[in-house]
C-alpha cells in the first residue's frame, strides 16, 4: 500500500469511526434522557394519583362512617351476628345493602363480624345487584380484592354500637383499566390478571415482568419495544395484588431520534466531505515531499552519487531536518568519493609507472598513449564516463606485460615466433589481473582488445570492425603511433610524418579508418605546439566536443 494511501486512511478512518461512534452515543444519550424524563414523569403522575387517592380514601372513609352509623343496618347486623345461620336475618341485611348500593352507586358491599368473617354481601352484576353466594370469600380491608373473576378496589370502616365493635362494612368499586392513560398490568403472586398493553398477550407480559419482582422500577422489553415499568400499588396487605404501569420508551424517544436521523446524516455528509478534503490535503502534504525526494534520489541510479536537495521540499520541520541531514550525508559521501577517486587515479598512475619503469625505452609510454587517446576521443565526441574509460584504459592497456619475462620485453633484437607468441598473451594476462577487481571492470575491454585489427587479423579474439569497442580502437591507433615515434633497443623512433603515413597506409586494414583520420588531425594540431600534452590542461581548454571539432578543422 502506498504511503499516501496509508496517510489518507490514518487521517480519515479514525475520524469516520469517531463520527459513527458519536452518532451512536448521541442516540444512546437521547434515549437515556427520554427514559429519565419518562421515569420522572411517571413518578410525578403516580405521586399525584396517590395524593388524589389519599384524599378520595379520606372522603370515602368519612362517607362510610356515615353509612356505618345507619341504625337499620346496625340492627340487622346485630341480628345476623347473633343468628348467622338465619336466612331471614341474612335476607334483611342483604336488602339493606342493596338499598345502599342502589342509592350510592357502589359495585360491592359486604358486612363482616368483629373477627372479619364475611356475613352477607351484594355485588353489581349484568342484571343489577345480586346477593353474594355463601360462604363468602374473606376480603382485604383496603386495596384490591377479587370476587369471582372480577377485581374491586376496596375500602372498609368499622361498625360500632356504643363502645363495642359489632362488625365491619366493606365497600368496593369495580377496578377498570380504561381509567389508565398509560399501559398497565394487574399482577397477583406473579401472575398477570389483567393487561391493557395492545398487541401483547398476557403470558408474554408475565414472562417479561419476571425480572421486575421485588423492584419498584424496572426496564422491560415487550413486542420489540423498550418499556419502563413502575409499581403503582405494591404487594402487601392487599392479598398479593400489584399494579404496574408501563411507558413505551421507543415511542417517546421516536420523535427525537427521527429528528436526529434527519439532521445527523446531512451534518455527517458535510463533516465527512470536510474530513475527506482535509485528509487528502494532509496525506498529499506528507506524501508529496517524500515523492519528490524519491524522484530526486533516482538520479543516483544514473550518476552513482547521492544528489543534494537545492530547495526546501516541504515547510514541515521534520522534512526540512531530513533534507538537511541528507544533504550533509550526500556531501560527506561526495567528499569521500572524491578522495577515493583521487586515490584510485594515483593507484592507476602507480601501476602505469611501475610498468614503464621496467624499460627505460618505454618510460612514459602509457601516459602519452592516454593523452593522445583522450584528445582523439574528445574529437570523436566521447565525453563523461566513456572518456574516463578511454583515459584509464589507455593507462592500463599494457598492464599484462607484468607477466612477460624481461628477457623477452627488453630483447634488443628481433623476436622469435615463440617470443612474439608470449608477447601476444599480455592482453589476456592484463584482463586476468584486473577482472578480480570490481572497480576495473569498465576498462577490461580496452586492456584485452587494444590489439584487435579492423580486418579481423588481430589478437586475442580476431574481432572485425566495430565488434571491437570504440575505446579499444582509439587506444590501438594511439599505442601504435607512440610505439613508432619512440626509440627502442632494436631501432630508433620514426618521425611524426612517417608514423602518420604508416597509420594512413594501414587504415581500413589494421586500424579504424575514421579513428585514424581524426587522430591525424588531432596530432597535427598538437605537433604545431597548440595542443597541450597534459590531460588536465586538455580538459580545461576543451570543455565540449564541439570546440575540439572546430579546432581540428582549422
Query: How large is the average pLDDT for residues 244-273?
Result: 71
Percent of the chain with pLDDT over 70: 69
Residue 167 CA to residue 115 CA, distance in Å, equals 8
Q: Kindly state whether residue 266 falls inside one of the protein's structural domains.
A: no
74 within a domain of the structure (yes/no): yes
Q: How far is CA 551 from the centre of its chain?
A: 66
CATH number where 534 lies: 1.10.3210.10
- 110, part of any domain: yes
Q: Do 467 and 493 contact (CB within 8 A), yes or no? A: no
In a domain, 104, yes or no: yes
Average pLDDT over residues 375-379: 93
Q: What's the total number of domains in the chain?
A: 2
- Judge contact between 168 and 114, C-beta under 8 A: yes
Residue 184 lies in a domain: no
Instruction: Give which of 146, 158, 159, 117 is closest to 134, Cα–Cα.
Output: 117
Cis amide bond preceding 135, omega within 30: yes
pTM of the model: 0.44
Q: Which helix (H) or strand (E) holds 170?
A: strand 164-174
Q: How do beta strands 128-131 and 191-195 pair? A: unpaired
Q: How far is the C-alpha of 521 from the C-alpha of 375, rounded, in Å?
A: 10
Phi, psi at 248, each rounded to 5°: -75, 110
Q: Is the peptide bond before 460 cis (omega within 30 degrees of 0)?
A: yes
- Within a domain: residue 43? no
Over the stretch 476-511, which tens digit does the pLDDT of each residue have? 999 999 989 987 776 788 899 999 999 999 999 999
Which residue, chain included where needed, has cell 487521517?
Answer: 11
Q: Tell me the three cell numbers of residue 25.
A: 452515543
pLDDT digits (tens, 9 = 90+) for 126-177: 778 888 887 776 666 677 777 767 777 778 888 887 778 888 888 888 777 6
What is the span of the domain harbouring residue 131?
69-173
Q: CA of 276: how far to CAs of 10, 263, 329, 412, in Å?
A: 12, 20, 38, 88
Which residues lie across from 221 on neighbouring strands? 226
- Is 315 among the domain residues? no
Label residue 512 exposed, middle or buried (CB < 10 Å: 0-12, 13-18, 19+).
Answer: buried
HEC per residue, 378-431: HHCCCCHHHHHHHHHHHHHCCHHHHHCCHHHHCCCCCCCHHHHHHHCCHHHHHH
Cα angle 345-346-350, degrees, rounded to a multiple of 5: 115
Average pLDDT, the chain: 76
Query: Which residue did the predictor score with more confidence, 113 or 281?
Result: 113
Helices (H) and strands (E) in the chain — how many of each? 18, 11
Left, alpha or beta for 292 (phi > 0: left; psi -120 to 50: alpha)?
Answer: alpha
pLDDT in tens, 263-312: 667 777 777 777 777 777 676 666 666 777 677 667 666 666 666 666 66
Dihedral (C-alpha) 90, 91, 96, 99: value to the nearest 10 degrees? 140
The count of C-alpha atoms lying within 13 angstroms of the C-alpha of 10, restricted to the half-sphere facing its C-beta, is 12
* pLDDT at residue 453 in the model: 95
Evaluate whether residue 457 is within a structural domain. Answer: yes
Amino acid at each position: 500500500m502506498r504511503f499516501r494511501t496509508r496517510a489518507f486512511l490514518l487521517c480519515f478512518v479514525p475520524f469516520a469511526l469517531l463520527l459513527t461512534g458519536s452518532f451512536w452515543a448521541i442516540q444512546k444519550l437521547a434515549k437515556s434522557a427520554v427514559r429519565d424524563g419518562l421515569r420522572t414523569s411517571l413518578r410525578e403522575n403516580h405521586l399525584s394519583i396517590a395524593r388524589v387517592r389519599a384524599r378520595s380514601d379520606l372522603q370515602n372513609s368519612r362517607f362510610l362512617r356515615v353509612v356505618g352509623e345507619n341504625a337499620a343496618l346496625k340492627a340487622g347486623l346485630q341480628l345476623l351476628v347473633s343468628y348467622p345461620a338465619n336466612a331471614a336475618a341474612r335476607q334483611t341485611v342483604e336488602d339493606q345493602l342493596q338499598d345502599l348500593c342502589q342509592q350510592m352507586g357502589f359495585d360491592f358491599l359486604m358486612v363482616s363480624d368483629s373477627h372479619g368473617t364475611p356475613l352477607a354481601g351484594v355485588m353489581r352484576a349484568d342484571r343489577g345487584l345480586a346477593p353474594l353466594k355463601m360462604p363468602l370469600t374473606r376480603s382485604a380491608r383496603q386495596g384490591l380484592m377479587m370476587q369471582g373473576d372480577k377485581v374491586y378496589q376496596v375500602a372498609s370502616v368499622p361498625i360500632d354500637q356504643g363502645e363495642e365493635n359489632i362488625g365491619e362494612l366493606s365497600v368496593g368499586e369495580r377496578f377498570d383499566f380504561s381509567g389508565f392513560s398509560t399501559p398497565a398490568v394487574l399482577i397477583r403472586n406473579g401472575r398477570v390478571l389483567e393487561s391493557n398493553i395492545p398487541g401483547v398477550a398476557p403470558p408474554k407480559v408475565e414472562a417479561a415482568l419476571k425480572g421486575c419482582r421485588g423492584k419498584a422500577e424496572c426496564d422491560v422489553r415487550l413486542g420489540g419495544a423498550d418499556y419502563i415499568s413502575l409499581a403503582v400499588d405494591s404487594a402487601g396487605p392487599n392479598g398479593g395484588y400489584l399494579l404496574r404501569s408501563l411507558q413505551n420508551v421507543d415511542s417517546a424517544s421516536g420523535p427525537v431520534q427521527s429528528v436526529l436521523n434527519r439532521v445527523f446524516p446531512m451534518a455527517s455528509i458535510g463533516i465527512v466531505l470536510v474530513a475527506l478534503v482535509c485528509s487528502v490535503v494532509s496525506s498529499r502534504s506528507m506524501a508529496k515531499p517524500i515523492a519528490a525526494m524519491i524522484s530526486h534520489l533516482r538520479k543516483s541510479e544514473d550518476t552513482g552519487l547521492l544528489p543534494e536537495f537545492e530547495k526546501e521540499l516541504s515547510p514541515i520541520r521534520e522534512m526540512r531536518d531530513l533534507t538537511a541531514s541528507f544533504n550533509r550525508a550526500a556531501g560527506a559521501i561526495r567528499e569521500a568519493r572524491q578522495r577515493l577517486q583521487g586515490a584510485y587515479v594515483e593507484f592507476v598512475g602507480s601501476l602505469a609507472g611501475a610498468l614503464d619503469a621496467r624499460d627505460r625505452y618505454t618510460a612514459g609510454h602509457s601516459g602519452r598513449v592516454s593523452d593522445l587517446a583522450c584528445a582523439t576521443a574528445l574529437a570523436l565526441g566521447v565525453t563523461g564516463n566513456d572518456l574516463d574509460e578511454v583515459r584509464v584504459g589507455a593507462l592500463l592497456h599494457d598492464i599484462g606485460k607484468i607477466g612477460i619475462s624481461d628477457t623477452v620485453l627488453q630483447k634488443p633484437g628481433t623476436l622469435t615466433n615463440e617470443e612474439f607468441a608470449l608477447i601476444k598473451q599480455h592482453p589476456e594476462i592484463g584482463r586476468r589481473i584486473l577482472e578480480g577487481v570490481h572497480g576495473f571492470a569498465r576498462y577490461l575491454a580496452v586492456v584485452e582488445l587494444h590489439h584487435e585489427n579492423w580486418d579481423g587479423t588481430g589478437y586475442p579474439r580476431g574481432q572485425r570492425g566495430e565488434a571491437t569497442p570504440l575505446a579499444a580502437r582509439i587506444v590501438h591507433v594511439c599505442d601504435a603511433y607512440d610505439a613508432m615515434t619512440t626509440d627502442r633497443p632494436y631501432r630508433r623512433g620514426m618521425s611524426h610524418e612517417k608514423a602518420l603515413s604508416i597509420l594512413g597506409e594501414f587504415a581500413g586494414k589494421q586500424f579504424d579508418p575514421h579513428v585514424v583520420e581524426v587522430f591525424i588531425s588531432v596530432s597535427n594540431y598538437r605537433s604545431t605546439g597548440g595542443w597541450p600534452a597534459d590531460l588536465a590542461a586538455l580538459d580545461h581548454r576543451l570543455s565540449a566536443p564541439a570546440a575540439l571539432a572546430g579546432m581540428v578543422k582549422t
